[in-house]
Structure 1
């Protein structure tokens, strides 16, 4: 009585061994969880830039050597919002996408899929590359359809803006160049350097892009605008 059997001793040793093993695993997991974002988010700059907008944003951010926190500080956007944008859970507004593109040393045009070089492009209805953007209201999204394929060295950028009621730039934009637009359908309110104009079907506009400008669809139907920038923006 009072002695410890071999089976009891072996079971105790096995239990202690498993406990130590589990503690080691927990410590390794804890160290990984505390690893700085710069180490967890290792850039893969050798990979080709992906076509998906969120994946392309992540690729360019990593190529720039920025963490989500650093990019958020530069663009005035929360880290969680940027993370959701990269995962495709939210769609950035035109204003936010402009700020992100500027910090990643690219343009909104450059976030589209790169096109093969050709002397002539013809898009049939439904074939144009598209990019959906968030907007000022919950349902007011803006869809950009590229009229000119993106390529390095291109002198023009042209899109068909398809703007739902309440949609628009969701903020003022300012960049180099000039732009011109022609309204096909709907009514938009465009503000350039604090001057506001209402432009309807058949109307057009032109302004220098460095002037602060914004626009929104103030009507009850979808607006469609052919919008041209030079140089590409």
Structure 2
């Protein structure tokens, strides 16, 4: 065995074991290596790891169950939904009510992705009747006029087409001024093949002002506090739990 000193460390070569051991100058001065930490001192570490693993198992179990609890309840009934835009079979076994705001980014994210899948899987197959309940938030400058634009398009049988277009192009019209946004909505009406003159006249006259006001008041009275929110059998859900909630309702749970 021989050693080579380099700076503050010594590299020791043991011919028998064919190993190289690195010893710091500090260890050499002490004449012994640093003692190993006792098992007792590591006990808190082991306990902490165990707790983390246990929590992880619990969270995985919850996620595997595929269900999320409702965030609240509401008193809105089917009778109170008369006059709201509806799609799907009138006698579908499950009714889903969306409370939405056309300028809400979360509502657009739902409509442009999950909403299309919900329609294909449940509405188009006759399992769900879907109702859109306007809830324009006051901090969104154009949400109110957008809600009217969709209703006015509905006068010419194109509510859902305008509904989808407003969400699909939300980032296009949301930054505009009030005057510019009406021009943009008029362009959408033309794109959908509507009578643009009639559309513009209805938009300028605030044709659906009372209906949108009523929708907002009813939403707040029902305890709806955010958009998008969804109601099934009097229970309020968020978009993340909607598919599971529909399946549970179809199963009679």
TM-score under structure 1 length normalisation: 0.28
Mark the structure with the bigger radius of gyration.
2
Larger RCO of the pair (alpha carbons < 8 Å, separation 6+): 2
Considering fraction of residues, name the structure with more strand: 1
TM-score under structure 2 length normalisation: 0.27
